[in-house]
Every structure is written in C-alpha cells, then in structure tokens.
Amino acid sequence: MNGSVEFDGMMTHLPAICGAVSGEQATTREQLVAELAAIGLHEVRYDDDEDEDEEVSPYLWIHAHMTGVDDDAAAERRLRTAISRQAGKTIGSDKHWDFGPFTMTARVIGGELELQFTSTYSLRAVRAAAKDFLDGADGKTWLLTHGLIDEGAVQNDKGFWPKPAGVSQNPTGRMFPDGRVRASLTFPASRRPPGLIAKSDDDAYVATLTYLTEVLGERDDPSPSHTPVWSRGQRKFTFYRMSSSSRSVTFEEIAGAPETEDPAGE
C-alpha cells in the first residue's frame, strides 16, 4: 500500500487522467506512472528484488488507501461513473475500460483503491506501424520500432518471433528466408481512435476507417462490401472487422507481383 488519498480528490483527478489516456495524451508506461504519481497514486511492485522482467511487464498495479469512504460499493459505483463520463463505458466480464494504449480495471475494497493497467497496442500505434510499413521501412527494423518483436528475440525454425514481453496481446511476427516480413494482430472492437466515444460498433468501425485513411490515404477499394486494404508495391495492410467484438490487422509483403484481389477470404 502506498500512502493515502482522498476519495473526493480521486473523483476529480483519476477520471481526468483516464480521459487523457483515452485521448492518448499519455501513451507510454513512464508517462502514465508520472501522471498517477502526481495525484498520489504509486506503482506497486510485488517482487522486492525487482526482477529484470518486471521492467517489461505489461501490467501496472496501483493500491492506495482512500480516506472518506464509508461504503466500498457506493464509492466504486461513483468512481466508475465519473471515469466512464471521461473515457467511455466499461466492457467485458471484468468491467474494464479500453483506453487505447492501456486497459484498466478499478476496484474499491476495504477502503482501498485498486487499479490494474495493462499495456496494449492502440489504434494510433497500429496506424503508425501501417504507414511506416507501406512507406517501405526495413522489415526487421520496422518490427522492432513498433514493438511487434523484442530486441534480441530469436526466431524459431519457421521464422516466427516470440511474443513481446511488454504488451498483453500476442502479435505474430515472421520473417521469410527471402527477407519478406509478415505480422498480424488481433484486438477488441472497443479499441477506437483517440478520444472517440462511439454510440455503436458500426459508428466506431466507420470512425476507425476514417482515422486510418487520414494518414494512409484512400483504400484500394473503398466500397463497403470489400475488406479494407491499403497497398504500396508489394506491401499491403489489411484491416478486418472480425465481428462486433474483435478486429484484426495484417501487414504482409507479397512475393513477386502485387496482388489485386480482395483478400477477404484469406
């Protein structure tokens, strides 16, 4: 436990931070830790020896005693409502918020505030990776720059790299013998453009395509019946609407001439 904070103060300060993270004004673990520390919330480390892997864990835990709490359940409801006004509704059975760079759960138990943040790939990060990929960045350098593989990671005999340690998701990164790279990533439909609070999944999907197009340019075929694809030479980026609950993207280099077919059936 890291000291005490006032419940009334948390009702103002914590939602403001969550709104800033949702708007991607704080996108790194270091920025988030600093923002939380400024309002009296400090990271909890469960390993006193601080194993070196702790530094690249996708999880960030916050525990703090809150003064001014008479009823845990009522305090948690009020805090959740305040956060949702700034950052959108919770999702999933664990009632977490998806801010983009992080997801977060919040509990009030025994007068203590318990937060868990989990590092994820935001749409801003996906868009930046897509732009660099289509612009022709060196394959392995691109994978490293955008956190799809870790420095020093070793490929298996099929060319796949292991999951990066610093994120909770499980991207696949692969390099073929001829030097081509391929990567894919699946994420929840709740992952939306910075600051967007959409009324429906359809609205969120349209807004996401608009957000991607702002930087990547027009899709190969913008008709609604075609899977969104952006191509540059032998490289293409594909955005899949898997269902109302998930999305998937692929980055791939095509051997030989660029493909022109709709890849929806891949």
- pTM attached to this predicted model: 0.83
| DSSP labels, 58-107 | SEEEEEEEEET-S-HHHHHHHHHHHHHHHH---BTTTTBEE-SSEEEEEE
pLDDT above 50: residue 261 = no
Say whether 232 sits in a helix, a strand or coil: strand
Residue type, 157: D
**Cα→Cα distances 81→12, 14, 90, 191, Å:** 12, 12, 10, 20
> What pLDDT digit, counting tens, does each position of 98-119 carry?
998 999 999 999 999 999 999 9
| DSSP labels, 110-133 | TTEEEEEEEE---HHHHHHHHHHH
Contact between 83 and 97 (Cβ < 8 Å): yes
d(CA 200, CA 259): 33
d(CA 104, CA 109): 16
Residues in the chain: 266
Q: How confident is the model at residue 51 (pLDDT cuts 50, 70, 90)?
A: very low
Tell which residue, 187, 183, 261, has the closest CA to residue 229: 261
> What pLDDT digit, counting tens, does each position of 180-231 carry?
999 999 998 888 888 887 788 899 899 999 999 999 999 999 998 899 999 9
Cβ-based neighbour number of residue 213 at 10 Å: 15
Q: How confident is the model at residue 240 (pLDDT cuts 50, 70, 90)?
A: very high
Compute the average pLDDT of residues 12-35. 93
Tell which residue, 76, 98, 127, 67, has the closest CA to residue 251: 127
Tokens 């868990």 -> residue: 116
Compute the average pLDDT of residues 120-149. 95
Tell which residue, 197, 183, 198, 67, has the closest CA to residue 130: 183
Tell which residue, 65, 138, 148, has the closest CA to residue 108: 65
* DSSP H or E run through 215: helix 201-216
How do beta strands 246-253 and 235-241 pair?
A: antiparallel
Tell which residue, 41, 29, 21, 54, has the closest CA to residue 119: 29
Say whether 15 sits in a helix, a strand or coil: helix
What residue ranges do the domains of the chain occupy?
4-119, 123-265
Contact between 87 and 19 (Cβ < 8 Å): yes
> What pLDDT digit, counting tens, does each position of 62-74 carry?
999 999 999 999 9
